[in-house]
């Protein structure tokens, strides 16, 4: 699993209000301090972006790719999919527009061709 690599950095692009509701272990909010941390990293650092459903995080990955970062990934389905499919201890909020249902596998597959982590 990509998360087992200690060099992987997880950035949460959600709002401070969403961050207060729930968060993934090891995530760094992409606020001013988080942005400074991200910009200080080597451009080839493996970085995963996550949000509620995976849309804002995909935009963040594209933005930082234009800034010269080369090892960027989006957590498809966001924290919502993570909570439903991998770690139900992560609280959910606001429902899911994707119609996700949980499974008992908790498998994450890293799809390098699309820079997306499928939950």
CATH number, domain of 9, equals: 3.40.250.10
Give the least confident one: 4-13, 19-28, 91-100.
91-100
User: What's the average model confidence in pLDDT over 30-53?
Assistant: 96
pLDDT tens track for 33-43? 999 999 999 99
Domain coverage including residue 32: 2-118
SS (H, E, C) 15-51: CHHHHHHCCCCCEEECCHHHHHHHHHCCCCCCEEEEC
Contacts of 22 (CB under 8 A, 6+ apart): 79, 83, 90, 91, 92, 93
Number of domains in the chain: 1
SS3 11: strand
pLDDT class of 2 with cuts at 50, 70, 90 = low
| Predicted TM-score (pTM) above 0.85 | no
In the predicted structure, residue 83 carries a pLDDT above the cut 70: yes
Instruction: Note the pLDDT of residue 41.
Output: 97
């Amino acid at each position: 699993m990509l998360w087992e690599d200690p060099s992987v950095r997880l950035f949460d692009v959600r709002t401070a209000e969403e961050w207060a509701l729930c968060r993934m272990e090891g995530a760094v909010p992409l606020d001013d301090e988080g942005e400074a941390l991200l910009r200080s990293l080597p451009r080839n650092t493996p970085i995963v972006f996550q949000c509620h459903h995976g849309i804002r995080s995909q935009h963040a990955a594209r933005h930082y790719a234009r800034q010269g970062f080369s090892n960027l990934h989006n957590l498809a389905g966001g924290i919502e999919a993570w909570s439903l499919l991998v770690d139900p201890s992560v609280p959910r909020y606001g429902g899911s527009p994707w119609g996700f249902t949980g499974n008992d596998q908790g498998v994450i597959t890293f799809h390098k061709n699309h820079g997306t982590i499928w939950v």
